[in-house]
Amino acid sequence: MSEFLSDEEQISRFKSWWGENGAALVIGVAVAVAVVVGWRFYDSANQASMEQGSKAYAEYKDAADSERQALADKIKDEFEATSYHAMVSMGQASDAIEAGDLQGALTLLEDAIEASGNTVLGDLARLRLAKVQFGLDRKKAALDTLSAISNDGYRSWALESQGDIYFAMGDVERAHGAYSGASESLQDGDQRPLLRIKVENTAPFNGQYVEFTSELDQALEAAETSLAQDSEAEISENE
């Protein structure tokens, strides 16, 4: 037992053990220290980068129109493949749509998707891209883009947009299926009256899927008129 060994014997055994295991122990400790120090450095650097990105994006949002392009380029260069990169591209895409430049908007939204990947922000960009693709009469591409949306928060919107595209293509049966799926995918508390109207108006009649007998805008206008008349009647009764 070690407590009965002489000091010389204990030192001798320690030297022998150290000779066999000392190098591995030193390497293990060094690696552990490097991991801890490296993680702290990464975490600190990542936090600093986020703060710098947030500041740069705030400057971009507040900048005059003449300065925004240069700031946008700077953010995309210094904060490549981040949410700031994606948000700048999406903002530029909105400006391009307002200017009637759908092709430019398409390129910018594709850039936003590449920068953000399969995130909630990426799926928001996909929703917008699908609308632009539809506007460019690229219906198949728009349907593919919407099918790539995976986040639950946007799933219902994606299905509704698919329904709109199918309906525009004259495929009422698929439109109804997409609208029904969108309704079933609603988050708790979501209220989408227009979606309910779309589900009802594309439902089969006598086993047949047929297009609306009247334009949706006309149906909505009639509903608003009816509600207004009911409200006026109720007021008259209370007078």
Joined together, the tokens standing for residue 146 give: 């919407």
Q: What is the value of pTM for the model shown?
A: 0.69
Q: What span, in angstroms and rounded, lies between the C-alpha atoms of 108 and 128?
A: 11
What are the pLDDT tens digits along the chain (239 aa)?
445 555 666 666 666 665 666 666 655 655 565 555 454 544 444 554 567 878 888 888 888 888 989 999 999 999 999 999 999 999 999 999 999 999 999 999 999 999 998 889 999 999 999 999 999 999 999 999 999 999 999 999 999 999 999 999 999 999 999 999 999 999 888 889 999 999 999 998 877 877 654 545 555 555 556 555 555 554 444 44
List, in order of start, the domains of the chain with CATH numbers: 29-150 (1.25.40.10), 156-212 (no CATH)
> What SS3 class is residue 185?
coil
> What SS3 class is residue 64?
coil
Give the tens place of pLDDT for each residue, 56-81: 888 888 888 889 899 999 999 999 99
Joined together, the tokens standing for residue 226 give: 């009816």
Q: Left if phi > 0, otherwise alpha if psi is -120 to 50, otherwise beta: which for 114?
A: alpha
